[in-house]
Amino acid sequence: MPGFLFAAGFSYRLTMLRRIPRDGAFKAYSHAIWRGLGLVAVSLAMYGFNGSFVESWSEVNPTQVWDFWAGMIKANLWETLAVIGVSQLVVLPFVAKRTRVVALGMLGLLIAHILPSLAAASPTHHSLEWFALQNQWPTNKLLRRCRNN
């Protein structure tokens, strides 16, 4: 699958470089935004949300709403189509720019990924706990196992 994701990303840049002179920047970028959102929507339609929400509206409470959205964002949203769609939206500001701008954008995204990862790996800070809010979530079980060993 990494090869497929690379090919999708590479073809995305080539498509944008061809589409902007042909259709104009506004039309090309708006088409790319709708395509990215469409891929996420198709992924959600194919793979669904994170289980059932509630049986009736009278049972809805803020904790259930948070669990639903956090569970979807944390794990259930990220099928291949959604990964491609969100990635296309993230790199959209610099996908059709010069090589130097693309390289700087890539470096910026790398730093934006590494900094929270380093904070989560800090031995004095249990920053993974803020994301594992419920005992039934796998990350919380993993944290308990690590502390017990």
pLDDT digits (tens, 9 = 90+) for 7-48: 888 899 999 999 999 999 999 999 999 999 999 888 877 776
Token pair listed for 137: 């979530």
Distance CA 33, CA 15 (A): 13
Q: Is the pTM of this model over 0.85?
A: no
Distance CA 115, CA 148 (A): 27
- 4: which residues sit within 8 A by CB, 6+ positions away? 80
Structure-model confidence comparison of residues 126 and 9, the more confident one: 9
- pLDDT classification of 136: cutoffs 50, 70, 90: very low
Q: Which sequence spans correspond to the domains of the chain?
A: 2-96
Question: What percent of the chain has pLDDT above 90?
Answer: 32
Mean pLDDT for 72-96 is: 84
Determine the pLDDT at residue 45: 77
Determine the pLDDT at residue 4: 83
Distance CA 131, CA 74 (A): 9
Mean pLDDT for 81-109 is: 91
- 114-to-60, 85, 103, 144 alpha-carbon distances in Å: 37, 22, 16, 24
Long-range contacts of range 18-26, CB-CB < 8 Å, 24 or more positions apart?
20/96
Determine the pLDDT at residue 134: 44
Residue linked to tokens 């954008």: 105
Distance CA 51, CA 139 (A): 18
